[in-house]
Structure 1
């Protein structure tokens, strides 16, 4: 895991549920560091540094696109 880098940080465990499903569906190796600690004690998220999404550097562009799509959903008019 020393090759993995942090690409995003989340404050609460519920924020990563959809993202985890997408990453698994896309077959992108990932790790949510501190996930269990924050799930147990959400008020200590800042103390633990949040839930860090760690990925392999080769997947940066794919994961950034997924994060952008989640943060900026298309609106249908």
Structure 2
């Protein structure tokens, strides 16, 4: 898709589930390249370069912020 850029790469489909939910909740257009192929044949992950999260360049910073928040340690108040 034109104007979309890879922001993250995952090796397994289960790593994308929470992120997919958050992006849908924020109504950010995205797609995962190779997701279907690797759900059928997970051993191709290395050969295909993993599951690539593609987002539009206008949403790149918002998505990067969401990913950074997921990678930060859990804080319990």
**Distance in 2 separating the partners of 1:3 and 1:52:** 15
Corresponding residue number in structure 2 for 1:33: 33
1:3 aligns with 2:3: yes
Shift >3 Å, 4+ stretches: none
Superposed CA offset, 1:35-66 (max 9, x none):
01111111210101100000000111100010
Extract unaligned runs of 5+ from structure 1.
none
RMSD (Å), alpha carbons: 1.1
Paired residue total? 77
- The alignment's TM-score, normalised by the length of structure 2, stands at 0.93
Q: How does the TM-score come out when normalised to structure 1? A: 0.93
Matched, 1:50 2:50: yes
The unaligned stretches of length 5 or more in structure 2 are none
